[in-house]
Amino acid sequence: MERSTQLVGQSSSFLDAVERASRAAPLDRPVLVIGERGTGKELIAERLHHLSSRWDGPLVTMNCAALPETLIEAELFGHEAGAFTGATKVRVGRFEEADGGTLFLDELATLSQAAQERLLRVVEYGEVTRIGASRPMTVDVRIVAATNEDLPRLADEHRFRADLLDRLSFEVVTLPPLRHRSSDIPILAEHFARRMALELEWDSWPGFSSRAQDRLLSYSWPGNVRELRNVVERAVYRWESPAEPIDVIQFDPFESPWRPQGAANDSNSAPAPAALPAPDAEGVGQALAAAEAALHDPASCADFRLAIAEYEKAILAAALERCRWNQRAAATALSLSYDQLRHALKRHQLMA
């Protein structure tokens, strides 16, 4: 399916960032886009390009973290034949490819000091020198760069050139993480879900159940919009009753009772999501109290085994509710292994 470049949202923090990018777009100046992974930095770069006078020129993207340090300079600036071992022919760099358009440098903070120094000259003078060449060439390129790092702090620690930062930060667009734009979560979820339902050729979109909506809103979304899209699209395609509202949301696609439990995994198991912390002792006590309150008076017990089973089921249900149906957090709260909890849930028919 074609990748969408739509910017979806209505929260004031998100709209402010989009508005700042829109105002900076017509100006032929560098722009820094700052944000956590999955917040849409590349979409903002595309907006800056398409709303500028360079809209009909090339938009060239380079992920600075995707290449080893030894190849970044050759990729950015190009090289002449014979410039180094393996350089059998002339290589045009990304700056030359982007001439007359925009160069988007993602993961800017990973650039080596040598590459930063060469980049500084391009920004300052508009000149690029291929590796192995003796003469520079003039290029007309607008630079948009993105990172999830605190560049001023890196500059203070001498890990990023302060003079380069000064030249690239004519405008800085900082994108808010999804956890700080919660009003956009239902809108984005609906947007991605409807697209997935259309791709699956469903007759209509049944929506999400209230429980599923609550789970989407209570999660912290460390992967931001990208993670939300994956979670929602996975929930839609796994749902087997297109006429009924989607009720099952799985945040961790690796969650499974058969998940490998090696030595490294045992000591460094993945923690529960930040928005779904395991309850403390007080929380466990509340869960037990709720379970006990749900049962009949013990003095009137006529079936010992049934009473024990009901009590165990009530404890499990209360712990799941307390942990917002995160099974790993519930297992931790009840001092059970994940497999033990899953077995108990299956025995009492509490599996989602």
pLDDT tens readout for residues 146-194: 999 999 999 999 999 999 999 999 999 999 999 999 999 999 999 999 9
pLDDT of residue 2 exceeding 50: no
Q: What share of the chain has pLDDT > 70, as a percent? A: 86
Lowest mean pLDDT among 132-141, 191-200, 301-310: 301-310
pLDDT over 80 (residue 345): yes
Indicate the pLDDT class of residue 329, thresholds 50, 70 and 90. Answer: confident
Is the pLDDT assigned to residue 303 strictly greater than 90?
no
pLDDT band, residue 321 (cuts 50/70/90): confident
Mean pLDDT over the full length of the chain: 86
Per-residue model confidence as pLDDT tens digits over 22-43: 999 999 999 999 999 999 999 9
Least confident of 57-61, 160-164, 242-246, 297-301: 297-301
Q: Which pLDDT tens digit goes with each residue over 106-155?
A: 999 999 898 899 899 899 999 998 888 888 899 999 999 999 999 999 99
* pLDDT of the residue at 154: 96
Give the pLDDT score at 24: 97
Bridge partners of residue 172, in order along the sequence:
32
Identify the band that residue 288 occupies on the pLDDT scale cut at 50, 70 and 90: low
* Structural domains of the chain in order of their starting residue, each with its CATH number: 12-176 (3.40.50.300), 180-238 (1.10.8.60), 276-347 (1.10.10)
Beta-carbon contacts of residue 300 (< 8 Å; ≥ 6 apart): none
pTM comes to: 0.71
What are 260-287's pLDDT values in tens digits?
A: 876 545 444 444 444 444 444 455 555 5
pLDDT of residue 192: 97
- Given a cut of 70, whether residue 342 has pLDDT beyond it is yes
